[in-house]
Structure 1
Amino acid sequence: MQGKLFLQEVLKVYVSKYMSVAKTLPFSDDIGGTSILFLPCALYNWTPPEGAGQFHGMPLDVKVVHFKGSRKRLMLESWNFYSSTPDIADMLCLILGSGRTKYDF
């Protein structure tokens, strides 16, 4: 299946399942012979709020933190906070690579 067509099918499945449900849950679907796992962004792509000026933490059930745009400045502060927090036993890692060397550490 061509890449563009594949992504169009992914979008169609996403819209049909997520847009009509109040609480999003993980689900999988077969698209072009490939099993795709759809994960809710609130848990697997959580982003700190913009404009706070500092990292105020995240919900404890979050699995992936995504530092977008100017929020990348919060990466070191969040690492310092969560690396000293024993309450997050299932967090395997924080990814601190941004593609911009001034933020990578």
Structure 2
Amino acid sequence: LKIVELDPTAVRRELILVKVRAEPDQRGAVLEVVQLFRAKAVDVAADAITIEATGSPDKLDALLRLLEPFGIRELVQSGVVAIGRGSRSITDRTLRPERQKTIRVV
């Protein structure tokens, strides 16, 4: 396992799934916010909508601030993942083939 600190220009993203209270009369307003942030409604129930969104931490914080008045029932959030910009990869810069390890995530 090798940990690499990327420079500030790296592409960074985070994922959230958020379940928001959405009574029938509020559903349209919730979906407008979803569209504004290019998020997706991944589940719709009679009184709730589950939303998937990816982006920078600042973008996701702004989305959550707009959804908060509707009532956030549940929220799960990944950590930030990142990858360097351009054609070079992490392995080009820092890892040698004889030192690489394969990690299996279950």
Q: Which category describes the TM-score, using the shorter chain as reference length?
A: under 0.3
Structure with a larger share of its residues in helix: 1
Q: Which has the larger radius of gyration?
A: 2
The answer to which structure has the higher strand fraction is 2
Q: Flag the structure with more relative contact order, 1 or 2, with Cα contacts below 8 A and sequence separation at least 6.
A: 2
TM-score (norm 1): 0.25
